[in-house]
Structure 1
């Protein structure tokens, strides 16, 4: 195997920053809706964070004691080291060791592990990092890793935040060139409002940190402001969809025009959703999906236009999902197509987890004289789960003692016998 040079092991030049990247103001809020499905690749425990001094982070990180350092040996068995010291589990070490065959001793990997322990990464965090980027063990601590940490600390990031960034950035963090991006990080901290929001955005698209700030990101932000989106709206949109900021400005301008053509008013809360929807598909695909919605729900041109302008995210739903929702809402619930077109938010909810269970529960209450028969179906669908329980389930504990149990079963996809009506 060719010998790996010291420069290559340490991360190489700037070009490596974007090697595996995909294209994808301070308001103090937190994004929750898409966060549930996008948790960090490795969980970091705040309790494990080393108490690094902001005054001298480099010295503390270099002198922190690692939880496990390899014993002195006459020969260096890389695969054994990855298992016993780094915590990798088979077959991970086989693939990883092939990239580390040039190592003759554990001195450099030991120094890296000591550094990571001082930063606050747990054993599981380190194992996940090394499994995905074995060459991280070859990084230069004093010349690369510690200066990167010092720079980030100077921007106000906590050791916990930096540890999360290490796990997210992987090979990029061992590049000397990441230091040149620290000014961009400062800009994003201001844009997103907090380090937590920046890290959430970078988890979805780390390419954002390597994008052309002046030539791409700032022009796209200027266009969003032209669309009358405020600082909080922009931060929220870009935290959940950071790829928008790194999109080619010409293409991004076309996406904005497409969102406007959908009839969504600029500056409205739905405009960000419209951008989210059009970012997923080409103009031709969007037209095909609009046509599919029209046929599935038997809408007129005017009705489908109203529905899309009020709930653009339904364009992201699959044809099969929309077909099942149509059959349920029109055939079983008995809603008119025009009714659904004026209230399209109902189509953005899960059929199995929300629409069907709530319909069963409300119908049970009506059939047993516990709720007026003229109560609209739409209102129970919109409220949160806690509010639904408070308004429709809990008040009937005595009259319907099994209602909560049956509703929970319906949310799991079951059809309780008490929810079967003649």
Structure 2
């Protein structure tokens, strides 16, 4: 039989399908005098039928379909039900690529009940704004959603998040980054930790900010949450202070042994324990920096910039900055400008290290490029300047959107649009 195949892609698809059909036929076709099929031949037939269905209906490649068929079997009596599941998911935005990924990781999804599982869950999610590509992306990032009860798990978690974050829009932002929030044990971790923070005087909008910044903080064990809150209060941090949630997040993210090690590192560099906790309360990220970053930063500020130790302790956020990408390029530019007497010698270099990139480029690089050839290259070149310009444009564009009162997924606002 002549077959018109116009491209290599079509040829491969044709060969795959012919292989599957031939394989299936070879394993089940018997002559009148043939013995009954062995377990092996029946299993092979089932695998071929499964693979054929996965290729033709779900978009899997032949290799992936054969791999899935080794651990997942489809019986002919189930084909109508399985096709209904596939069509239902396609009708809700699942492409063949989405389906292929989903089935490769959890082939059992094809056996999900439509009426008792998929339909009510998808209806609830879409009613609450999980629409378009967000729906398949959410399911793919957390397939446990299809295995958890709607009324016992998904609804309570969604409603809890909404009560804290303020509206569906903020819940969706949180779920896009941490879809596991929808299947986390509500009564085991989230609710008790939330209740504790409320009892301690942390405002709801601050807890919302904590969840948006670092949702894993809310799933820490209750004992650890209690001890961490107590430690921060002992340091003099009030739960109603804006910095409290930042300190809480920082403290929860590291173990006690790691915290002690960072303290010893800082002490070895001349910090007292009082200095450390004073700086931590101003800049909680301090104890999250690696030992290498802390040592390199202190060496640069104390030995290269000749900045006194107390200046760093008073402004610990200086240790945030990258030496290679920010500090050293700026330092080199400022030293040249100083040597050419283009800036005052007693200019506070610490302040110039903290200003934003756009301002530094404008006032200390572009302003003097004609006077000092190669200054832009010394600072990082035109590529860096272009990147900064694009970042600035993006920020300005975003600000314009906010000013136009269009919804922004990164703004926590309990007065969300209806």
Q: Give the CA deviation at 1:77.
A: 4.5
2:355 to 379, 383, 392: 383
CA distance in 2, matches of 1:311, 1:227: 22
* Equivalent pair of 2:145/2:182 in contact (CA under 8 Å): no
- Corresponding residue for 1:403? 375
- Corresponding residue for 2:113? 140
CA distance in 2, matches of 1:274, 1:411: 36
CA distance in 2, matches of 1:390, 1:190: 45
* Equivalent pair of 2:189/2:218 in contact (CA under 8 Å): yes
Give the superposed CA RMSD.
Answer: 3.4
* Equivalent pair of 2:237/2:281 in contact (CA under 8 Å): yes
Q: Which runs of 4+ in 1 moved over 6 A?
A: 70-74
TM score, norm. by length of structure 2: 0.70
- Corresponding residue for 2:142? 169
Change (3 A) 1:367 1:182: same
SS of residue matched to 2:264: helix
Structure 2: segments with no counterpart, 5+ residues: 1-16, 25-47, 385-418
- Corresponding residue for 2:322? 350
Q: Give the CA deviation at 1:162.
A: 3.0
Structure 1: segments with no counterpart, 5+ residues: 1-69, 413-422
- Establish whether residue 338 from structure 1 lines up as the match of residue 307 from structure 2: no
- Corresponding residue for 1:243? 216
- Corresponding residue for 2:33? none
- Corresponding residue for 1:278? 251
* Equivalent pair of 2:85/2:114 in contact (CA under 8 Å): yes
Q: Give the CA deviation at 1:344.
A: 0.2
* Equivalent pair of 2:68/2:104 in contact (CA under 8 Å): yes
CA distance in 1, matches of 2:270, 2:340: 33
- Establish whether residue 266 from structure 1 lines up as the match of residue 236 from structure 2: no
Larger Rg: 2
Change (3 A) 1:354 1:334: same
- Establish whether residue 150 from structure 1 lines up as the match of residue 123 from structure 2: yes
Change (3 A) 1:340 1:120: same
More helix by share: 2
1:7-406 residue pairs with structure 2 within 5 A?
75=24, 76-79=48-51, 82=54, 86-88=58-60, 93=65, 95-104=67-76, 107-170=80-143, 172-175=144-147, 177-180=149-152, 181-202=154-175, 205-214=178-187, 216-295=189-268, 297-400=269-372, 402-406=374-378
TM score, norm. by length of structure 1: 0.69
